[in-house]
Amino acid sequence: MAVYLSMDVGEFFQLDSVTVELDGDEVTHHLYTERQVDALLRGGVQRLYLGNVNQGRHRLTAFFTGRGPSERDYRRAATVEFEKTFEPAFIELAIRDSESKYQPEFSAAIGN
């Protein structure tokens, strides 16, 4: 399975790090440089994790830390449950700005 991270706008959230847990176990942790955050903001997509996972039901949780609105420390999580089959699994973690709420939004979704 592969886990990707994308970011849109980033006005309400400055990303510092991401931790990914699979079924409660940490599988990867990434601390971002300014250049990496810039690459994400310009439309780049980071392949955050690539690994094998048994077939069956799994739960993936990503924890995002950084600076939120008003420069406050910010920590949020997004979770997705998925069924691993023979086919490769792709999961996209996304950080987007919600203009209506003036807050960042974090999501995790299964790709095809």
Give the residue, chosen from 9, 17, 23, 79, that forms a contact with other proteins under the rule CB under 8 A. 79
Half-sphere exposure of 40 (CA within 13 A, CB side): 25
* Measured torsion, CA atoms of residues 78, 83, 111, 64, in degrees rounded to the nearest 10: 20
Q: Kindly indicate which of the ranges 8-16, 23-31, 69-77 contains the residues binding other proteins, using the contact rule CB under 8 A.
A: 69-77
Give the residue, chosen from 11, 23, 26, 81, that forms a contact with other proteins under the rule CB under 8 A. 81
99 belongs to the binding site for other proteins (CB under 8 A): no
- Helices then strands, counting H and E runs in the chain, come out as 1, 8
Give the residue, chosen from 42, 54, 70, 73, that forms a contact with other proteins under the rule CB under 8 A. 42
Q: Kindly indicate which of the ranges 9-17, 24-32, 86-94 contains the residues binding other proteins, using the contact rule CB under 8 A.
A: 86-94
CA gap 81, 58 in Å, rounded: 6
